[in-house]
Amino acid sequence: MSNKEWPLYEVFIRSKSGLSHRHAGSIHAADDQMALDHARDTYTRRSEGVSIWVVRSSQIVASDPAETAAFFEPAEDKIYRHPTFYEIPEGVENL
Amino acid sequence: MNSNDALLAYVLRLGDNALVLGQRMVELVAAYPELEEELANANFALDYIGQARMFYAYAGELEGKGRGEDDFAFLRDENEYRNVLLLEQPNGHFGDSIAKLVLFEAFYLQQLEALVHCTDKRVAEIAARAEKEIRYHLRHNTQWLIRLGDGTAESHGKAQQAVDNLWRFTGELFAADEVDNVFENEFDGPDLFRIREKWYATIAAVLDEATLTMPEDAWMASGGKAGQHSEHLGYMIAEMQYLQRVHPGANW
Amino acid sequence: MYTQGLDQKDKSAPQRDTLETPEQLEAFQARIDAEEKIEAKDWMPEAYRRTLVRQISQHAHSEIIGMQPEGNWLTRAPTLKRKAILLAKIQDEAGHGLYLYSAGETLGVSRDAMVGDLLTGKAKYSSIFNYPTLTWADIGAIGWLVDGAAIMNQIPLCRCSYGPYARAMVRICREESFHQRQGFDILRVLCEGTPEQKAMAQDALNRWWWPSLMMFGPNDADSKHSAQSMAWKIKRFSNDELRQKFVDVTVPQAEFLGLKVPDDDLVYDEKSGHYRFGEIDWQEFIEVIKGNGPCNRQRLGKRRKAHEDGEWVREAARAYAEKQAAKAAA
C-alpha cells in the first residue's frame, strides 16, 4: 500500500514579516502545488502565517544523531567566541 | 419592481446560493478522499456559511421586519429559496463535487468582482471579502478538475460525465431576469452577458487543460432563481430546518 | 483515554529487543529521567518506539472516527452560528488526526500503514465514539464531557518524552481550548430554554456520563502497560488519578447547569476534598472495546467507504503528478 501513498512534505511557516520560517509539521500531497494548498489549509487556519515553504521530506539532508558528539561538541570549548569571555576594565563604557 | 425590492431580492439570492452550496459541502464531512482535502473543504464550507450569514444579516436590515440570518435560513419554505438549481444538485462522487464547484465558482468570482464596484456599499464590502475566498477556492478546485481530467482513464471518464451532467444547469447562472436587470441598472451591478463571455473563456481553458470536452450548449434548466426548484432542495431544507421547525421560537 | 487499546497485549514479536544492550537501555532511561526529549532519529528501545506508534496512531484514529458522531448533527445544527462552530471543531479534529499521524510517521511507519490497521479493525480507537448522538444536546455533551476528559489527558502529554508527539500535543491543546467551552455553551442555552430543551440536556448527560468516565481506561490495578509508560514519561498520571480529577471539576459544572449526574453513589467527601463515585460498568467497556458498542460497525463502515470511494481520486492525482514530472524531465 505505502508505495502508492502521496509523498510526505515538510511545512515551514513565516508567522509574520521579519521572522524566519519555522517548521510547523508535515502533510501529504501528490504534487508541489497541492502541497502548498494543503499546508495552507492545515497549518494556517487561525491566521498563523504570511508565507509558506514546503519541501519533500525525502529531500531533506539531516545530521546523524549518532554523530552528535563529533559534530557539535568541538564548538563547546571555543568559549572565546562569546562576549562574556572577556573582562571589561572598570570605567570603560560602550564596549 | 422598484430598486429597493430588487436589492433585497438580489442579496437574498446571494445568501441562498452560499447557504445551499455550503450545506451540500457540509454533507460530505468525514467522507473526503484524503485527510488534507477534508480540511480544505471544511475551510471552503466555512467560507460559504460565513458569506450566507453576512448576506442574510444585510437582507434583514433591508427588509426592516426584524428578521435575522436564522429566520431566512431556517424558517422559509423551499419556494422562498432563490438559489440556482446547480447548487442544490446532490453531491454524487468527488468528481461531481469538483465539477459543480468549478462551474459555479468561475461564475461567482466574476459576479463578486463586479459587485465590488456596485453602488451599494454593503454589498460591495461583503463582495470584497468573499472575492478573496472564492479566488482561492477556484484555483484549488480548478487544479483538481485538471488532475481528474488528465489523471487516469477512470478519473477522466468520471470528470467528463460530471461536467456533462451538470452543464444543463449553467444556463441559469446567466439568464438575467427582472431582479438582475434592475440591480444592474440601478446599482451598477454585474452585466451577466459579459460575465458569461468571461466564464466561457475560463471554463474552455480549464477543460482544455484537463483534456475534457466542452459539452454542446443544448437545453438549459432554470427555475431556481424564481423559487421553482428540483425535488432535491426540499429534502435538504427539511433536514437543515428540523430543529427550528420542531421547537418553534426556542433559543439555541 | 484515546489509547485504551494499549492495555491489550502487545502482539508483535520483539525481535530487535535482543540487540539492545543494558548500557544502551540505561543511557536511554537516564536521558528520560533528566527530562531530555527524545527526537525521531535518536536511538530508542524498540519497545518504546512500538508503544509510541500504537499510542499515537490510536490517538489519531480517535480524532478521525470522532468526527462522525458530531458530523451526524452538522446538517441539522439549529443556527448558522452553531453550524459554523461545529464545522470548525470537526475540522480541527481532522487536523489533529493529521498532526498525530505525522508524529507517528516520524517513527518510521507510514500513514497508509496506520490507516490500514484502523480499517482492518486491528488498531483501536477511543470507545467513546462508538456511542450514538441522538439529539442536539449530545453535541453539547460531547464538547463538555468528552473534550473535557480529553483535555485532562492531553495536557500532560504536552510534556511527553517523545518530542514530535509532545509538539503535536502542544498545538492540539492550544487549538482545542474552545472545544469544551462551545459544548458547555450549547448545554447552558438548552438548560435556560424550554422544558423540552432542558430534558434534552439531562437525557444527554444521562447517556454520556458513564462512557466519559470509561474514556480514562481501566482502573490502575488492571492497567497493564501503565508502569512502563510512566517510567518512559509517555504517561504522567494514572488512569484513576485523571478520572478523579475529571469528576472533581465536572460535577460542580453539572450543578451550575441544574443537571443531575446519573450516579446515586456520587457524594462529596469533605475530608479528602474529592467526590466519591459509583462503580463503572466494566463489562460494557470491554464489550465496546471488543467491537460490540452501539456504533462500532457503523463508524468503521463509514470510514472504510470513504477510503474506498477516494481511491480513484488519490490514484488520479498520483497519475497526473507522474505525467507532469515526466513532461518536466523531457
Cβ contact (<8 Å) for B143 and A6?
no
What cell does B94 get?
Answer: 468527488
Q: Among partner residues A6, A29, A45, which is closest to B43 by beta-carbon distance? A: A45
Residue with cell 497508509: C112
Q: Give pLDDT, residue B58.
A: 98
Q: Which residues 19-48 on chain B approach chain C with CB closer than 8 angstroms?
A: 19, 23, 26-27, 29-36, 38-39, 42-43, 45-46
Q: Give pLDDT, residue C18.
A: 64
When scoring A11, A36, A37, A54 by the number of chain B Cβ atoms within 10 A, the one with the most, hence best to mutate, is A37
Distance of alpha carbon B73 from alpha carbon A86, whole angstroms: 72
Burial class (CB in 10 A: 0-12, 13-18, 19+), B93: middle
Give the model's confidence band at A76: pLDDT under 50 very low, under 70 low, under 90 confident, else very high: confident
Q: Give pLDDT, residue C327.
A: 94
What cell does C317 get?
Answer: 492525482
Residues of chain B neighbouring A33 (CB-CB closer than 8 A): 143
Q: How many residues are given for chain A?
A: 95
Q: Give pLDDT, residue C109.
A: 96
ipTM given for this complex: 0.97
Residues of chain A neighbouring C314 (CB-CB closer than 8 A): 4, 6, 30
DSSP string, C177-237: HHHHHHHHHHHHHHHTS-HHHHHHHHHHHHHHHHHHHHTT-S-GGG-TTHHHHHHTTS--S
- Give the gyration radius of chain A's Cα atoms: 21
Positions of chain B with pLDDT under 50 = none
Cβ contact (<8 Å) for C91 and B151?
no
When scoring B39, B98, B146 by the number of chain A Cβ atoms within 10 A, the one with the most, hence best to mutate, is B39
Cβ contact (<8 Å) for C320 and A30?
yes
When scoring C92, C110, C120, C165 by the number of chain A Cβ atoms within 10 A, the one with the most, hence best to mutate, is C110
**Using one digit for the tens of pLDDT, what is the confidence trace for A6-57?**
999 999 999 999 999 999 999 999 999 999 999 999 999 998 999 999 999 9
Q: By the CB < 8 Å criterion, does B176 face chain A?
A: no
Q: Give pLDDT, residue A74.
A: 86
pLDDT in tens, chain C (330 residues): 555 644 444 445 445 556 899 999 999 999 999 999 999 999 999 999 999 999 999 999 999 999 999 999 999 999 999 999 999 999 999 999 999 999 999 999 999 999 999 999 999 999 999 999 999 999 999 999 999 999 999 999 999 999 999 999 999 999 888 999 999 999 999 999 999 999 999 999 999 999 999 999 999 998 877 889 999 999 999 999 999 999 999 999 999 999 999 999 999 999 999 999 999 999 999 999 999 999 999 999 999 999 999 999 999 999 999 999 999 998
**Closest alpha carbon within chain A to C318:** A30
Q: Give pLDDT, residue C225.
A: 74
Shortest CA gap C70–chain B (Å):
10
Distance of alpha carbon C307 from alpha carbon B104, whole angstroms: 27
Residues of chain B neighbouring C80 (CB-CB closer than 8 A): 19, 49, 52-53, 56, 69-70, 73
